[in-house]
Amino acid sequence: MGLFGLRLRTLRTGKRLTQEDLAEKLGVTKASISRYELSAIYPSVEVLIEISKYFDVSVDYLLGLSEKIDLKMSALTDEQIVIVLGTINEFEKLNALENPVD
């Protein structure tokens, strides 16, 4: 699976959507979503833009040109934001231990 397919699947499952659900929202077939996720085909520019808008991520992120993904936390409480940021910090520490920089 290519990076685009992996990112699409991760975003879709993160919203607890089935391939059918996402296909309906984007106006494509379930088979297209499956093939996108397998990186067997890539969406048209128009569909790529719709995916980007739906998941509120950049096309650059979807295509692997950027690692940056903005977290939308406006709907979270202050306590939830602290938990999310703390979790990210712990993952960064764990990744640094697993991949030390020489």
Give the separation between CA 54 and CA 15, rounded to whole angstroms. Answer: 11
The token pair at 5 is: 């397919």
Task: Give percent of the chain above pLDDT 70.
Answer: 97
Helices 19-26 & 30-37 angle (0-180, nearest 10): 110
What are the chain's domains?
Answer: 3-63 (1.10.260.40), 71-102 (no CATH)
Radius of gyration of the CA atoms of the chain, in A: 16
Q: pLDDT tens for residues 23-66?
A: 999 999 999 999 999 999 999 999 999 999 999 899 999 998 98
What pLDDT sits at residue 75? 87
What pLDDT sits at residue 25? 97
Whole-prediction pTM: 0.74
CB 36 within 8 A of CB 43: yes
Evaluate if residue 1 carries a pLDDT over 80.
Answer: no
